[in-house]
């Protein structure tokens, strides 16, 4: 049986870093790389030793997910690894975002992540690994990047319940909740009507470090990985503090 890894958001940033890490897994027969930018995917595939299938897809479009579902049904592979890293954010208050930005963020960060996971579920075997890239923004409401944080809260809860549902099948499911990452995320997030809603993004992590650490923790069957002390503090704080406390603190820090 063909043993594959499916990586969404593979054209840049964290998805690209995951693909490079997975390239070291000699047990994989193929890596299916999914993103909108075909040239970026081709470039990445040329760097990797593992055989790659380049799948230029816009996951905001349902027909893209349907095409992936059809390919899986035809190939009938074992999805040994699923990494759902496609997503984006926008800085600004709810009133600053356009209708298109609002719809696209919800569609890609929530619906597409769930849809890709859904079509891969029949092809997971005991020992398969699922990593859903959420964010430490999921731990509390965040004025100034309200919608992004809300989409990641959705994905965190979905992943936590998915882990419970798949535990008897022996599938390792992990929600990844890092801090800022040094990727194209920042430029995309600031391309909005209110780019200064978040003034600075300090202590950003390298995508390679996040990918390596989260894959290690997923291998140990950890359900949630924060990838650093700041997001860990945010996770712990969200368990003991009323929501208005981190919101008020964040509302001051984001303007500094």
Task: Give tens-digit pLDDT for 112-150.
Answer: 999 999 999 999 999 999 999 999 999 999 999 999 999
Separation CA 196–CA 235 (nearest Å): 25
Distances (CA, A) of 180 to 14, 88, 176, 226, 231: 11, 12, 12, 11, 9
85-106 pLDDT per residue, tens: 999 999 999 999 999 999 999 9
Q: Is the pLDDT of residue 253 over 90?
A: no
Q: Given this model, what pLDDT does residue 235 score?
A: 93
Q: Is the pLDDT of residue 5 over 90?
A: yes
pTM: 0.94
Separation CA 145–CA 92 (nearest Å): 5
Domain residue ranges in the chain: 3-253
Written out in words, the top-level CATH class of the domain with range 3-253 is alpha beta
The percent of residues above 90 in pLDDT, for the chain, comes to 84
- Model confidence at 155, pLDDT cuts 50, 70, 90, reads very high
Average pLDDT of span 149-175:
98
User: Which residues fall within 8 angstroms of residue 63, CB to CB, at 6 or more apart?
Assistant: none
- Model confidence at 247, pLDDT cuts 50, 70, 90, reads confident
User: Which stretches within 76-126 are classed as H helix?
Assistant: 99-106, 113-120
User: Which residues fall within 8 angstroms of residue 203, CB to CB, at 6 or more apart?
Assistant: 179, 180, 230
19-63 pLDDT per residue, tens: 999 998 778 999 999 999 999 999 999 999 999 999 999 999 999
Separation CA 256–CA 251 (nearest Å): 9
- Model confidence at 172, pLDDT cuts 50, 70, 90, reads very high
Q: What is the rounded average pLDDT for all residues in the chain?
A: 95
Of 123, 148, 180, 185, which one is the catalytic site residue? 148
User: Which residues fall within 8 angstroms of residue 112, CB to CB, at 6 or more apart?
Assistant: 8, 59, 60, 65, 86
Separation CA 170–CA 180 (nearest Å): 31
With residue 6 as reference, give the H or E element that holds it: strand 3-8
Q: Given this model, what pLDDT does residue 86 score?
A: 97
3-state secondary structure of 91: coil
176-212 pLDDT per residue, tens: 999 999 888 888 889 899 888 898 888 889 999 999 9
Q: Is the pLDDT of residue 256 over 80?
A: no
CB 182 within 8 A of CB 207: yes
Active site residue 158: no
Separation CA 165–CA 163 (nearest Å): 5
Distances (CA, A) of 34 to 76, 91, 103, 108, 168: 18, 25, 21, 13, 29
User: Which stretches within the chain are classed as H helix?
Assistant: 13-22, 38-47, 62-75, 99-106, 113-120, 146-166, 185-190, 207-219, 229-240, 244-253
């Amino acid at each position: 049986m063909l043993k594959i890894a499916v990586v969404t958001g593979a054209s840049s940033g964290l998805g690209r870093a995951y693909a490079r890490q997975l390239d070291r897994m000699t047990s994989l027969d193929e890596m299916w790389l999914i993103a909108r930018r075909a040239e970026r995917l081709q470039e990445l595939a040329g760097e990797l030793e593992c055989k790659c299938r380049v799948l230029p897809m816009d996951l905001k479009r349902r027909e893209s997910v349907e095409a992936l579902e059809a390919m899986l049904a035809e190939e009938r592979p074992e999805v040994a690894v699923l990494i759902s890293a496609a997503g984006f954010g926008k800085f600004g208050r709810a009133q600053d975002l356009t209708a298109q930005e609002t719809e696209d963020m919800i569609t890609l960060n929530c619906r597409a992540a769930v849809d890709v996971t859904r079509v891969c579920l029949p092809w997971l075997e005991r020992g398969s690994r699922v990593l859903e890239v959420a964010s430490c923004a999921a731990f509390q409401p965040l004025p100034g990047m309200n919608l992004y944080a809300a989409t990641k809260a959705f994905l965190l809860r979905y992943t936590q319940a998915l882990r419970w549902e798949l535990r008897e099948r022996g599938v390792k499911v992990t929600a990844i909740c890092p801090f800022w990452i040094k990727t194209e995320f920042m430029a995309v997030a600031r391309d909005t009507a209110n780019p200064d809603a978040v003034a600075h993004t300090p202590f950003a992590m390298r995508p390679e470090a996040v990918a390596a650490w989260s894959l290690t923790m997923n291998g140990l069957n950890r359900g949630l990985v924060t990838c650093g002390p700041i997001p860990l503090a945010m996770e712990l704080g969200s368990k003991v503090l009323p929501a208005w406390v981190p919101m008020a603190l964040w509302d001051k820090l984001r303007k500094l």
